[in-house]
Amino acid sequence: MIKRLSVGLMLIMALYFSFFDTYPYEEKIQRLYDKNNPSGNKAICLIVGNISKSMYPYTIHYMEGEFQPLSPKNQEAHLNRLTNENLHLFSQFGLFTEEQVARSWGKPIYRYNLTNLGRQYFDDFNDQTNFCFGRIVVNSANIIEDVLNSDNGNKERKVYITYYVKNVPDWMKDPTVYKRFGYPKEVTTEGLIDGIHRYRILSKRKLESIEGVSLTYKWASSS
């Protein structure tokens, strides 16, 4: 399974909150999500591949070992295969044009370009091609758990939340898309989903938000 990239919402900013026993987690988390996603259309981002905007029109290529069991030696080949598959998949929903331009290794070589629909959802974070959409709406904050981060020794607080997603495009509602990127059907129906928002505990009265369920970037699952 390719390790999925998940980028927390604190890429944009780190906010510090005063902590009290009656701390309004739902309100504060929602406010943070909305501040970092003012358009309401970038809560969830699907990574198509390591293709910068300047590389379009983009012509695919094949790599040796891309269908072999995943190992450190062929991870690049696996990501290349996922990219090729993603380009073809999203072309079926009108986000790319697809044109066969040659053949190699007995396989067709395709050239892709963003359509107007694709540009509507295009995001170039990390100098790659991502399709982003949605707004996270926090429904509840149910369980609070304080833990010690074994990697750095910092004290952290996990807030277990339920949420739903608004502004989901039609192409995301197809099972071939949301399942490929590891999302449940509830993402497409405004159904409730379980999630975690993490804070770093700075003191008894201060928390620093680390990451949550908004502004996340995910690779497709390896099949």
Residue-wise pLDDT tens digits, 93-104:
999 999 999 998
CA distance to 26, 33, 192, 212, per residue, from 185 (Å): 23, 22, 10, 20
Is the pLDDT assigned to residue 75 strictly greater than 70? yes
User: CB–CB of 207/16 below 8 Å?
Assistant: yes
More confident residue, 219 or 71: 219
More confident residue, 13 or 45: 45
Q: What is the pLDDT of residue 149?
A: 86
Query: How does pLDDT run across 195-207, given as a tens digit for each residue?
Result: 999 999 998 889 9
Query: How does pLDDT run across 105-119, given as a tens digit for each residue?
Result: 789 999 999 999 999
More confident residue, 7 or 131: 131
Beta bridge partners of residue 174, listed in sequence order: none
Confidence of residue 64 (pLDDT cuts 50, 70, 90): confident
Is the pLDDT assigned to residue 9 strictly greater than 60? no
Domains, the chain, ordered by start:
15-38+136-218 (no CATH), 47-131 (1.10.10)
Q: What is the pLDDT of residue 51?
A: 98
Q: What is the pLDDT of residue 23?
A: 82
